[in-house]
A and B are shown apart, each in its own frame.
Chain A
């Protein structure tokens, strides 16, 4: 695995070269905010962004995707999306989220639809330059990332340090004209930036170690905070929608106008929405808003980490839900800190 340094102008030319050959998705400005979009030129790319409106998961688990096509009475056929693409500018916390989704979609049963897209992607992660207003990745241990990416970029001022994390990354770097093996000085500059990020991406400070959260939640099931917070919850599911690790989905059939052929699609769903657990006979297992509110925060820092035996929580500290929540109750740090205050650390 190589680590190279590339001058910013050379990097721009390099990106333009890739755009000519392949679909490239990168971070662009959208008004005064940012989002992932298909690039037409390297000039659109903004690697100094704070946070994207949507996490990059939509390129692997699209909001709506076709799983199968069918003809009534004549069986089903799998449908796959096979276009290779480059995903440019994934922040470390989002990379950690993608690593978790990889585990979740391969564990127990292998999801070929997700994994095909995953294998078609070359992911270029990048260390954070401008921390967003609500980021708390340092609290969650996700301010930097060590694996999962194909290439990791770090802005060291006038140049980028590019580290390869896979064979695909090696091939990617090999194509970069003007890249030279990183000097000791460049590596030290990068080390300094990463060490700083480990501390400074922390605009909401968690009062305990993130790895302690599953234990804390074990004692918090009947705590009044769930009712208190959920009192003003609109059950709108915005927190689910913007979360990089939310992956619940619904499956629906769509019949074409000929009434013979059609497709089976999966679409994002949210555990905060009313009716998420409703079954035949009108039985609903999480009818109360407080139960659904609690479920999300348990899923992030207890159920999912325990399911994949991960020391890193499923809340990666991107802070998107904090900004998306209209009644301002979604901030996980506020809830967890309240529990630490009331229940203590044992």
Chain B
């Protein structure tokens, strides 16, 4: 055996984590709280993801939703859509789930954003990965200037994190605005797509770092709106989802032109994506 093979770990080998809490947040989204079983460190930066592994079913890449300021556990929110995610929904408290990661070198620019305004634009489930950095900013509130969060949801039944959003909307140190795409009798707030909220945060957008996460179609329109608001590309960050099958830059499924979403991302600076037309 060669020397390096003897010391290097198997990059495909998951660690075990225990499911501590789970809660169905809406018809499709499940909140999960997990803790790693072994004593090895599990340190992550907002924006990093893990490969969630269910023995006999497979793996799915899921971005960590909790802030690293919360120690001893981490949170995921998983929409049931395929084999692995449906299997996760069927898991019970105390069950073991395989975890690989944290993965991804393209994270939220936690340090660069210090002393600046930060604006988050989320579409539906796009709130989940952004929440990690939003809560990180709230936990280190003095390090950052104005904080604005815009959330657009397709319909009322898909809205989630109700109590957390309620807290955000009552805090003075965060400007939280949300909208629902389709009108609903039970909804008294804004109606329309998330881009309709962008003109309302003109003040916060000044010299701000802007973070976008949502369904693929949303990026195009939000970027157009940000261009109108004259936000430079260097200050826009996109969280790009691709098929991160191996998560370690080998399998090729998540490639976006020159980049691999799994190792170069999943958070990309918009100006770096000039050479990657496949990104948007």
Contact = CB atoms under 8 A, between A and B. Distances in A.
B4 A67 contact: no
B252 A264 contact: no
Contacts of B4: 106, 110, 115
Contacts of A286: 278
B5 A112 contact: yes
A253 interface: yes
Nearest to B3: A119
B250 A105 contact: yes
B247 to A, nearest CB: 9
B79 A71 contact: no
A129 interface: no
Interface residues of A, number: 56
A109 interface: yes
B55 A70 contact: yes
A302 to B, nearest CB: 8
A71 B98 CA distance: 12
Given A110-B11, A303-B255, A285 B2 contact: no
B56 A253 contact: yes
Given A269-B251, A278-B243, A285-B242, A72 B55 contact: yes
B215 A281 contact: yes
Contacts of B96: 73-75
A298 interface: yes
A225 B73 CA distance: 52
Nearest to B257: A303
B181 to A, nearest CB: 16
A251 B11 contact: no
Interface in B119-133: none
A253 B243 CA distance: 17
B258 A277 contact: no
A190 B124 CA distance: 67
Given A277-B243, A281-B81, A113 B12 contact: yes
Given A116-B1, A119-B1, A281-B215, A110 B8 contact: yes
Given A82-B1, A115-B4, 6 more contacts: A78-B10, A105-B250, A108-B248, A119-B5, A252-B58, A285-B242
6 contacts: A68-B13, A109-B263, A116-B5, A251-B58, A269-B251, A302-B258
A-B interface, 10 closest residue pairs, ranked by CB to CB distance from nearest: A248-B252, A109-B248, A70-B55, A280-B81, A78-B10, A119-B2, A255-B56, A110-B8, A108-B249, A67-B12
